[in-house]
Amino acid sequence: MNAKQLKEFMRRYAESQGFQLNPDEKTVGSVIRGLLYNEEKFGRRYCPCRAITGDPEQDRPIICPCAYHKDELERMGHCLCGLFVKS
């Protein structure tokens, strides 16, 4: 999957969940590049804003969209890395 495809996938996911991608294209581009880098390096699209331990079981919750993003959207209006924001 290339950057354009991943961005579109994340956009559709966000809309299906009732939020949206960050309107700041620079932030979205940076996060998408980080996700693709982590996928190439570690084999999974780990959130670039989270520490990777190297233990696949322990790191599973930080595969984007991570286990924490919905709670962060509720509390902060955006996920930690800034990819998703409240609508």
Mode of pairing for the β-strands spanning 84-86 and 19-21? antiparallel
For residue 1, name the pLDDT band (cuts at 50, 70, 90).
confident
> For 7-32, what is each residue's pLDDT tens digit?
999 999 999 999 999 999 999 999 99
Residue 87's pLDDT is 87
Can you give the pLDDT at residue 45? 97
Domains along the sequence of the chain with CATH: 3-86 (3.90.460.10)
The per-residue pLDDT for range 48-67, each reduced to its tens digit, is 999 999 999 999 999 999 99
pTM summary value: 0.91
